[in-house]
Amino acid sequence: MILLLDQGAKLLVDRTIRLHHSIPVIEGLVDLTHVRNTGAAFGLLAGQRRALGSYVLILFSLVAVVFVVHLLRRLSETDTGLILSLTFILGGALGNLADRLFYGEVIDFLDVYWNGYHWPAFNVADSFITVGAVLCLYCLMRTKGRDPFSSARAGD
């Protein structure tokens, strides 16, 4: 569902907002701005040769997806907060991976700013990854020393 939401939003932006153009949502705070990110989060690796950077980021994304799936398989069904958080991260990673595979870059469009200070543009996938990471940290802090990843689920 996260993948569909992310890809649907990006498709809508790609088809309705010209590249590098903006539509104000909340004047002075949030715009929809169509940009393309050839690098990683916040433009990291954006200056690399396009093919090299794309391959490195695709490989990194694939490793991250496999790692998150591995963690999910090790959780008990009762660890719902961690399952939700890792599912958010997985869905976001798959959304940005799809962009890299289809376009060689990621479509970003959420532009948050105030008084000339701009947060780097981001997208739905980035939002789910961020919320998932924060929720995951919160859940891990509440485990009270228990290792939720110490054994596979029953039946595996």
DSSP the chain: -HHHHHHHHHHHHHHHS-TT-EEEEETTTEEEEEEEE-SSGGGTTTTS-HHHHHHHHHHHHHHHHHHHHHHHHHS-TT-HHHHHHHHHHHHHHHHHHHHHHHHSSEEEEEEEEETTEEPPPB-HHHHHHHHHHHHHHHHHHTTTT--TTSSPPTT-
pLDDT digits (tens, 9 = 90+) for 95-129: 999 999 999 899 999 999 999 898 999 999 999 99
Q: Is position 156 annotated as part of the catalytic site?
A: no
At 32 the pLDDT is: 98
pTM score of the predicted model: 0.88
Q: Which of 31, 108, 111, 156 is catalytic?
A: 108
Mean pLDDT score of the chain: 90
**126 catalytically annotated:** yes
The single residue of 6, 79, 111, 126 carrying the catalytic annotation is 126
